[in-house]
Structure 1
Amino acid sequence: MSQDQKKQLEQQLWNIANTLRGKMDADEFRDYILGFIFYKYLSEKMELSANKILDESGESIRYTQIKENTEEGLQYLNAIKEETIESLGFFLKPTELFSQIAARGGQISDENEDEEATEDSFILGDLAAVLQNIEQSTAGTDSEDDFNKLFEDLDLTSTKLGRTEKDKNKLISKVLGHLNKIDFELEKIDSDILGDAYEYLIGQFASGAGKKAGEFYTPQEVSKVLSKIVTTGKTKLRSVYDPTCGSGSLLLRVAKEVKDVAYFYGQELNRTTYNLARMNMIMHDVHYSKFDIKQEDTLERPQHIDERFEAIVANPPFSTQWSANTLFLTDDRFSQYGKLAPGSKADFAFIQHMIYQLHDNGTMAVVMPHGVLFRGGAEGHIRQFLIEDCNYLDAVIGLPASIFYGTSIPTCILVFKKCRENPDDILFIDASQHFEKIKTQNVLNAEHIDKIVDTYRHRMAEEKYSYVAPLSEVKENDYNLNIPRYVDTFEAEEAIDLAEIAQKLKAVDASMAEIDQTIAGFCEELGIDTPF
């Protein structure tokens, strides 16, 4: 698939999404459209897999031709189910496929608004049952956790879809009908094509979701910087982890920078976003056996605490609250520091959690608000411990303001390593003035991203952009990491020639005197007083 075809697919999906736009808020119709696309994807995967099994068995029948209510049909289905549960992690009967449900709903025409739905064209009940059956087909299998309650946000009884059952059925039928016209061509295209189109939709929803966007999406440009940093010098990763994974986009971005990621780990507090992350993984053709996404509070109840990760990336919620319970002083993640991050700002608690789970040969890159660089109290104590006692901080990268959806505050990337190649210094990069402005959003283009990554990888010092600070200098600054202390971006203003300015003022005065005389002449001719 060419780039033009890819863009066309993205636009088609976005246009279909807008079918629901007038009915509900962006974050609500997001859940419906992404859920329906995911259902269509699962159906096409199921049909392809089933037809392949039939071909390999020497059968001439197609999956959709199997009669489910016959003894022969049941034998086919049982054999196919056993194989697809193992290979795909789920199962759909022929009548449960997206194309079959959409075709039934399509019996209602768009032109006749008053047309009544026949018993066969009323699909809401069957659609709800199908989505539930997908989840139930995994019960007791290795993929059960990855599909459990995956479609719970698709409430087909919601009045937001329509006032009456007829209205709801008509709207859903219309959306499914439009989606059914698009062939995902899963047997032809690279798996990333459809996954990237899905990612595009998530990004589009994020751009219009205001502060809520930060709950589930990191801008792709920032994701690229984080991903390129943690994969520096590596072509394969045993594991990658995001403790606040949102939609899973950041984890998937890391995979694009290497040949293979053996396993993906993530944790997410928001239930809806957690469901989206699992869908996103599967849409990118990540096998259910290669990812483990959990839904829980990462700081209070970490789900992968015994694991150590080769790469960690994260964009935690900025300065969010946490319990800061004194019991955490005995928690191995926090105990060695002697102090806990304040309850009103959990930034360092996330950092401590991630460092605890970082493998000795791993790299961690995390987005943080600038306050972590200089705030005092317990945060200052933890910051000093990380640098002076642990020597884990490898780099500090300042990003432009207004680069994240829903907030205009400037942010930074902190890079940590337990076994640093350059243990005697810390690299500071000030990329805050290097961006492209698009409407109200600041964006990093490819040139900006490459400059940040190249500067990090080669540890280059560049006037007004980057500086390699000896640890002794950081100590002299009392472990304050505020970037202007290390990277001087001051631009001297051009010298002003006062004598030249004085001459210009004299010329202005002379010109005003001439104008006054002209006005006085006009006033005399008119026989009126002058205004001055």
Structure 2
Amino acid sequence: MSQAQLQELKKHLWNIANDLRGTMGADEFRDYILGFIFYKYLSEKTVNFANALLQEEGINEPYYQLDESNAEHLEFIEAIQDNGIEDVGFALAPKQLFHTLAERGRQADGFILDDLTNTFKAIEQSTAGTDSENDFANLFEDLDLNSTKLGSNATDRNTLVTKVLSHLDKIDFDLSNTESDVLGDAYEYLIGEFASGAGKKAGEFYTPQAVSTLLAKIVTHGKTQLRSVYDPTCGSGSLLLRVKREVKDVDMIYGQEMNRTTYNLARMNMILHDVHFSKFDIKQDNTLTKSLKLWSQIRPSLPIGQPILCFYRMIVFHLTVNLPQKPKQIWLLYSTCCINLMKMARWQWFFHMVYCSEAQVKVRFVSTSLKK
């Protein structure tokens, strides 16, 4: 994402936050905004996919203008949806597109809450019985459009949601740019500006993009392809995606996250970054108590994890990995206060990663002090 696009994104996010401010907590409207961003992404991806198919058939009419009441148009729509479910994992009808509903909401009698709720359900239902079902199941459950936090009555809620959609409708997601990271940029901005305190109180830490990038470069040094990568506490999936970006190809991405809302964000993040639904598997559960057997069967080639940042002490685990072909070395940075280091959960987390690795791992500890 260019600096100009980033500034434009921040401007609209700030305007949305101003509209939502006072009606709900910062962490709550963050999740609403990210959910709507994801919906806009799905719509734009659908439009690009559908228009390409229409052009192949010699039809210059854009997808959003197709009318389901027209028998010929309906045939095209159904064919596009069938292809969409197979290729991108979901389907949207022209009347369910983001821009269509945002435009309707701006009209004098534009009540769109019911249609918007039905659209979210339709996206999930379109995947029923398909390979992408688990990746889309309950993905929009945090977007409760009937919540009184959006307004005391349906009219007020509709007005507020329409304002949010109108702001996002002005943002160009630039899907043709593979380096674009709209959700990552939006998430980091919203966390930094509005919800960092709420997250820390809940015991959650968001890894800044710069830190994720550094860690990804360290653990992928000398590698061009990975059979699989696994993050046992993946959060919104930013570190997994950074690792994927550092190599030419990752055959499979695995992750686990205990927080339900963050788990949904991780799945959204994978889809938004164009990771095919068959190439990732994100689970929602407690990593230490319920995933050991599951992930030990997978044996990912690269287990990763974010550092817990502090100002007192850094522990560097130097892992010498003896693979059947040739020895490799992985530097895993893990930071914590010396008191926290002794807590059993830290050791459980570390040894869980060692156990789940496909390699035999030898561990050497190096302690370095940091000044405040």
* Same fold flag (TM > 0.5): yes
The structural deviation recorded for 1:427 is 4.2
- 1:136 paired residue number: 125
Give the whole-Å Cα distance in 1 for the aligned partners of 2:98 and 2:345. Answer: 52
The structural deviation recorded for 1:193 is 3.6
State the number of aligned residues: 351
- 2:332 paired residue number: 365
Question: Which of 122, 125, 128 is 2:111 aligned to?
Answer: 122
SS of aligned partner of 1:244 = coil
- 2:153 paired residue number: 164
- 1:272 paired residue number: 261
The one-character-per-residue Cα deviations of 1:420-448 (angstroms, maximum 9, x if unpaired) are: 6xx8x654444x338xxxxxxxxxxxxxx
Give the whole-Å Cα distance in 1 for the aligned partners of 2:226 and 2:140. Answer: 31
Question: Which of 201, 213, 230 is 2:219 aligned to?
Answer: 230
CA contact (8 A) 1:312 1:363 kept: no
SS of aligned partner of 2:29 = helix
The structural deviation recorded for 1:72 is 1.4
Partner amino acid for 2:360?
K
Question: Which of 285, 298, 302 is 1:311 aligned to?
Answer: 302
Whichever structure has more helix as a proportion of its residues is 2
- 2:186 paired residue number: 198
Give the whole-Å Cα distance in 2 for the aligned partners of 1:248 and 1:92. Answer: 25
Partner amino acid for 1:308?
R
Larger Rg: 1
- 2:70 paired residue number: 70
The one-character-per-residue Cα deviations of 1:361-398 (angstroms, maximum 9, x if unpaired) are: 6847363534479749x899x89xx8xxxxx8xxxxxx
> 146-155 or 73-82: which moved more?
73-82
CA contact (8 A) 2:12 2:167 kept: no
Question: Given the superposition, is the C-alpha separation of residues 315 and 91 from structure 1 closer, same or farther in structure 2, using an over 3 Å criterion?
Answer: same
For 1:176-325, list aligned pairs within 5 A. 176-187=165-176, 189-201=177-189, 203-204=191-192, 205-212=194-201, 214-215=203-204, 217-302=206-291, 303-315=294-306
- 1:482 paired residue number: none
Q: Which runs of 5 or more residues in structure 2 are unaligned?
A: 310-316
For 1:33-72, list aligned pairs within 5 A. 33-72=33-72
CA contact (8 A) 1:106 1:173 kept: yes
Q: CA RMSD in A?
A: 3.3
The structural deviation recorded for 1:208 is 3.9
CA contact (8 A) 1:199 1:249 kept: no
Partner amino acid for 2:141?
E
- 1:145 paired residue number: 134
SS of aligned partner of 2:256 = strand
The structural deviation recorded for 1:58 is 1.7
- 2:360 paired residue number: 418
Q: Percent identity?
A: 53
Question: Given the superposition, is the C-alpha separation of residues 206 and 160 from structure 1 closer, same or farther in structure 2, using an over 3 Å criterion?
Answer: closer
Question: Given the superposition, is the C-alpha separation of residues 122 and 295 from structure 1 closer, same or farther in structure 2, using an over 3 Å criterion?
Answer: same
CA contact (8 A) 2:34 2:183 kept: no
- 1:412 paired residue number: none
Partner amino acid for 2:371?
Q
Give the whole-Å Cα distance in 1 for the aligned partners of 2:229 and 2:298. Answer: 11
Which structure is richer in relative contact order (CA contacts within 8 A, separation 6 or more)? 2
Q: Displaced runs of 4+ in structure 1, greater than 6 A?
A: none
CA contact (8 A) 2:102 2:166 kept: yes
The structural deviation recorded for 1:17 is 3.4
Partner amino acid for 1:291?
F
CA contact (8 A) 1:191 1:285 kept: no
Partner amino acid for 1:21?
R
Q: Which runs of 5 or more residues in structure 1 are unaligned?
A: 109-117, 319-350, 387-391, 393-416, 435-532
CA contact (8 A) 1:138 1:144 kept: yes
Give the whole-Å Cα distance in 1 for the aligned partners of 2:345 and 2:213. Answer: 28
- 1:19 paired residue number: 19
Question: Given the superposition, is the C-alpha separation of residues 206 and 222 from structure 1 closer, same or farther in structure 2, using an over 3 Å criterion?
Answer: farther
SS of aligned partner of 1:309 = coil
Question: Given the superposition, is the C-alpha separation of residues 233 and 213 from structure 1 closer, same or farther in structure 2, using an over 3 Å criterion?
Answer: farther
Question: Which of 162, 178, 184 is 1:173 aligned to?
Answer: 162
The structural deviation recorded for 1:212 is 4.3
The one-character-per-residue Cα deviations of 1:101-134 (angstroms, maximum 9, x if unpaired) are: 10111124xxxxxxxxx2xx11111110001100
The one-character-per-residue Cα deviations of 1:274-293 (angstroms, maximum 9, x if unpaired) are: 10111111122222121110
- 1:86 paired residue number: 86
Partner amino acid for 1:61?
E
Give the whole-Å Cα distance in 1 for the aligned partners of 2:339 and 2:119. Answer: 48
Give the whole-Å Cα distance in 2 for the aligned partners of 1:246 and 1:164. Answer: 34
SS of aligned partner of 1:153 = coil
CA contact (8 A) 1:214 1:317 kept: no
Give the whole-Å Cα distance in 2 for the aligned partners of 1:64 and 1:208. Answer: 41
CA contact (8 A) 1:153 1:272 kept: yes
The one-character-per-residue Cα deviations of 1:308-363 (angstroms, maximum 9, x if unpaired) are: 12222224899xxxxxxxxxxxxxxxxxxxxxxxxxxxxxxxx9xxx9xx987684
Partner amino acid for 2:185?
A
Give the whole-Å Cα distance in 2 for the aligned partners of 1:124 and 1:76. Answer: 27
> 308-317 or 276-285: which moved more?
308-317
